[in-house]
Structure 1
Amino acid sequence: MAFDEAFRRLIGHEGGYTNDRRDPGNWTGGKVGVGILKGTKFGLAANTYPNLDIKNISLAQAKEIYKKDWWDKLGGTGLHSAITFQLWDFSINAGKKRAIQELQQAVGVTADGVIGPKTMEAVNSRDLNDVLLTLTAERLKFYTSLNTWPIWGKGWVNRVADNLKYAARDN
């Protein structure tokens, strides 16, 4: 899958500017009330980009950031593109290390948050649909464990449901 298609899908889940005080990602310190409330736009959050002018970022600038900081750094080269997309989307929503750990748990290897040869071998030796479904299950279990589930859980489930449709098309 090309980055442009992955970005098109992603941006369909990521909205415009928000600065909900309850969202730790909207604060430059990464915790509610810590740092400056700068918000989130196109999924780019103040806790990850504290020096970015979040409110005024353009879609083109967001696309460049996603390519450079997320797509290029994921480490998913060598995985089926359906898995790479799901892992990338999850990493943007929950953090790269967490997404990789959930993938590793899905395939039964040590969950160290790094895609290395053992992870690649384990993922590529399993049935594609089994990996996609198990990764999605791990993603949902992770979301339901968060104390912010009552606030944003419905949105996360809708995102995962859309991504399951993409997985069905991509496999």
Structure 2
Amino acid sequence: MDRNFARALALVLESEGGWSDKKADPGGATMKGVTLANFRRYVKADAGKADLRKITDAQAATVYRHFYWDAVLGAELPDGIDYAVFDFAVNSGPGRAAKYLQAALGVAQDGRIGPATLAAVKAKPAGVVIDTLCDARLAFLQRLPTWPTFGRGWGGRVASVRRQALLMSATPQVPPGSSPMMPASPGEALTVATPAGGATQPPAVPPAKPPSSGLAGILALIALALGSAAAWVAHLPCNLFGVFCP
């Protein structure tokens, strides 16, 4: 989803690093992963390498959004899959990333993500799509003649993308401004609304229940029986000898 663009871009920039101008790299001179050609296309038409080296984060984000994220419809892909396809596009081109996603989904590989691809990607578990895509991406890189030179870095990058993409797909996204309600843990005191100007108050404790009415009745009968026995003993002579007792 589009809310993942900033997070995905931060991860891509970690992989891309800073300035690079190696002759063995087919992409040519790059800064923060942005090629001179793309810098000229989206930022400054007559830019040279010196301008590219001074690219700002905002300028880099502009290039990445238009040339890669929007090209693979990152805003419409499920969480995690958006980042996996986006990073693949940055590393190997949007068209190839789209085709490999389509191959993983079993739909026509035309290199353009459209309604059929989006319907298919939303019908499959994200984890399965991510694993299939990363496996195919790694196999593609291993077939390149430059694998002996860049293979170690590429392999580590694909492993990192797989790990982060799976994490993104498994982490529930909380809409901005919302706060999920969590139940109190056992033994944790609950609180009620805070009155104006006062501290948070604990909930009122209900009064203790009076003794059971059944127990009270039994105690009353025992007291009555004891009282009667005491009175009979006090009048024992009268009872035995017929003596008048007041």
Answer whether TM exceeds 0.5 for this pair.
yes
* 1:61 matched residue in structure 2: 59
Give the direction of change, closer, same or farther, for the CA distance of 1:109–1:76 in structure 2 (3 Å limit). Answer: same
For structure 1, the 5+ residue unaligned runs are 27-38
Report whether the alignment pairs 1:141 with 2:139.
yes
CA shift at 1:70, angstroms? 2.3
The letter of the residue matching 2:17 is G
Deviation at 1:75, TM superposition (A): 1.5
Q: Structure 2 regions of 5+ residues with no counterpart?
A: 41-45, 170-246
**Equivalent residue runs for 1:94-113 within 5 Å:** 94-113=92-111
Q: Could you say which structure has the larger radius of gyration? A: 2
1:67 is displaced (CA, Å) by: 2.3
Aligned AA for 2:160? Answer: D
Report deviation, 1:76: 3.2
In the TM superposition, what is the alpha-carbon distance from 1:164 to its structure 2 partner?
1.6
Q: 2:27 matched to which residue of 1? A: 25
The equivalent residue for 1:35 is none
Q: What is residue 16 of structure 1 aligned with on the other side? A: 18
Structure 2 SS opposite 1:86: helix
Hey, what's the Cα distance between the residues in 2 that align with 1:22 and 1:54? 19
TM-score by length of 1: 0.85
Contact 2:99 2:110 in 1 (8 A): yes
- Aligned twin of 1:2: 4
Report whether the alignment pairs 1:42 with 2:32.
yes
TM-score by length of 2: 0.60
Match of 1:126, as an amino acid?
K
Partners of 1:17 and 1:40 within 8 A in 2:
yes
Aligned pairs (5 A) from 1:89-168: 89-168=87-166
How large is the RMSD of aligned CA atoms in angstroms? 1.7
Identity value in percent: 36
Q: May I ask how many residue pairs the two structures share in their alignment?
A: 159
Q: CA deviation at 1:48?
A: 4.2
